[in-house]
């Protein structure tokens, strides 16, 4: 037996006790992490707002990682616009007039790498990539940082930085569990937001065509008219009468028409399936002839060979156009536009209503 055997025998119980102590800490951490999962999910299930959920998640993860300081940030998908989700007496030193003074290259690189949503950096006080925040780290004795990023699936990236001090470092595996827990909650919140949006869209839009339902169009167009009154802007309402005599409208053919209509106007213009055989478009315009250009462009688009077998389009469309402020309400605009469309007597084309008269071109409005 070697001379150092008694020492080795003495060290083994110490190592065992140390390992048991570590396991007890890990067990305590795991218990703390999962003890309030149900409580954390309840606001999510009850439809709490995203801001409320984020506040709850922030408090939850900070209580789990009790020996760390958690910093929560948001940046745009291009990693150019950065801000703190919330501030306190520690993080406010990173701000100037409520704006982040600077963002370390290490953080920018991490946010721009969605394929690596977690990262651990050590010795950050002496790291060149973290040098911009060196004073902040030294002031609060932060030596290590663990990061996680979660995209909202649209235009924003949410990041959490768990900053640790050398004397209270948490094991990397436990830190990973904390980061994964936060990321899972955030992803669930974003999925819930997406589901809410889809349900809202389904209630406002016809899922088969993507067009607004009538009541949604009326509400949205009412806001357009209010905005136009405030800013002295023009608006046009187009009534599109479907001339098909088929007893039932083919949904796939209507969807093809809806798609070409949506490609004709801007994203913020409104299109709705108003009646069974009538579609309407509400568009902002600068000049009277702008509405005529849209009507002409739409009719020309329907001459595409892709519509040769579309019976709905081949049967023809009559378009009537009316203008605000010549008519000040949606009811008056629709009545005038529909009358203009019906004046075509079943022939494809467009007619413009202006001060009670019907015209084939806006150039005729002020002719003698």
**Nearest Cα residue to 232 out of 272, 304, 285:** 285
Name the H helices within 48-133.
50-64, 105-111
Domain coordinates of the chain in residue numbers? 8-201, 214-364
Per residue in 217-259, pLDDT (tens digit) is: 898 999 999 999 988 999 999 999 999 988 888 989 999 998 9
- Average the pLDDT over each of 9-13, 64-68, 88-92, 264-268 and give the range with the smallest value: 9-13
Residue 9 has pLDDT above 60, yes or no: no
Most confident stretch, 196-200, 227-231, 345-349? 345-349
Reported as a pLDDT band with limits 50, 70 and 90, residue 172 is confident
User: From CA 139, how far away is CA 190, in angstroms rounded?
Assistant: 35
pTM (whole model) above 0.85: no
Stretch 274-293: mean pLDDT: 92
pLDDT digits 0-9 by tens, 114-142: 999 999 999 999 999 999 999 999 999 99
Query: In the predicted model, is pLDDT for residue 22 greater than 70?
Result: no
Question: Is the CATH number 3.40.190.10 carried by domain 8-201?
Answer: no
Among positive and negative, which fits the CA dihedral 177, 183, 188, 191?
A: negative
Whole-number Å distance between alpha carbons of 142 and 124: 8
β-strand 144-151 against 156-164: which pairing, if any?
Answer: antiparallel
Asked whether the domain spanning 214-364 has the same topology as the one spanning 8-201, the reply is no
Q: Pick from 122, 104, 116: which is nearest to 148 by CA?
A: 116
d(CA 206, CA 195): 17
What local confidence, expressed as pLDDT, does residue 178 receive? 85
Q: Residue 37: its pLDDT value, please?
A: 66
pLDDT 10s digits, 177-193: 888 888 988 888 888 87
Asked if residue 262 lies in contact with residue 271, where contact means CB atoms within 8 angstroms, the answer is: yes
Q: Is 56 helix (H, G, I), strand (E, B) or coil?
A: helix
What is the pLDDT of the chain when averaged over all its residues?
86
pLDDT greater than 70 at residue 197: no
Question: 39-48, 179-188, 269-278, 282-291: which has the minimum mean pLDDT?
Answer: 39-48
Q: Cα separations (Å) of 143 from 90, 180, 252?
A: 15, 21, 61
Sheet of 144-151, strands arranged across: 82-84, 69-76, 156-164, 144-151, 118-121
- Going by pLDDT thresholds of 50, 70 and 90, the confidence category of residue 284 is very high
Q: How confident is the model at residue 40 (pLDDT cuts 50, 70, 90)?
A: low
Distance CA 185, CA 48 (A): 13
Q: Are 361 and 292 in contact (CB under 8 A)?
A: yes
Percent of the chain at pLDDT above 90? 53
The burial class, CB within 10 Å (0-12 / 13-18 / 19+), for 363 is: exposed
Over residues 153-164, mean pLDDT = 92
Round to whole Å and give the CA distance between 143 and 121.
Answer: 9
d(CA 342, CA 353): 11
pLDDT of residue 125: 96
Q: Which CATH architecture has domain 214-364?
A: 2-Layer Sandwich (3.30)
Residue 368: what pLDDT? 47
313-322: pLDDT as tens digits: 999 999 999 9
How many C-beta atoms surround the C-beta of residue 283 within 10 A? 21
């Amino acid at each position: 037996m070697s001379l150092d055997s008694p020492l080795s025998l003495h060290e083994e119980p110490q190592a065992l006790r140390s390992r048991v102590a570590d396991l007890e800490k890990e067990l305590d951490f795991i218990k703390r992490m999962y003890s309030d999962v149900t409580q954390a999910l309840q606001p999510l299930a009850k439809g709490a707002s995203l801001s409320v959920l984020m506040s709850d998640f922030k408090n939850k993860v900070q209580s789990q990682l009790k020996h760390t300081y958690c910093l929560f940030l948001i940046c745009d998908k291009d990693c150019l616009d950065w801000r703190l989700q919330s501030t306190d007496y520690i993080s406010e030193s990173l701000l100037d007039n409520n704006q982040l003074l600077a963002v370390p290259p290490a953080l920018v690189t991490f946010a721009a790498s969605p394929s690596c949503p977690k990262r651990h950096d050590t010795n950050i006080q002496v790291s060149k990539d973290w040098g911009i925040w060196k004073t902040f780290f030294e002031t609060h004795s932060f030596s290590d940082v663990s990061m996680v990023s979660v995209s909202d699936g649209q235009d924003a990236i949410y990041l959490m930085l768990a900053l640790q001090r050398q004397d209270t470092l948490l094991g990397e595996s436990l830190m990973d569990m904390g980061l994964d827990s936060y990321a899972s909650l955030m992803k669930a919140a974003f999925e819930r937001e997406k589901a809410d949006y889809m349900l809202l869209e389904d209630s406002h839009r016809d899922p088969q065509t993507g067009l607004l339902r009538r009541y949604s169009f009326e509400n949205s167009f009412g806001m357009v008219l209010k905005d136009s009154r405030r800013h002295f802007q023009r608006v046009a309402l187009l009534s599109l009468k479907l001339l098909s005599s088929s007893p039932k409208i083919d949904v796939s053919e209507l969807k093809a028409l809806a798609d070409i209509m949506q490609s004709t106007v801007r994203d913020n213009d409104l299109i709705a399936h108003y009646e069974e055989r009538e579609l309407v478009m509400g568009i902002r315009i600068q000049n009277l002839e702008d509405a005529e250009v849209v009507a002409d462009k739409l009719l020309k688009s329907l001459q595409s060979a892709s519509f040769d077998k579309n019976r709905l389009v081949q049967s023809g469309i009559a378009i009537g156009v009316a203008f605000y402020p010549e008519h000040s309400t949606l009811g008056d605009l629709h009545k005038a536009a529909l009358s203009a469309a019906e004046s075509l007597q079943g022939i494809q084309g467009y007619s413009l209503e202006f001060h009670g008269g019907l015209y084939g071109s806006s150039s005729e409005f002020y002719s003698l």
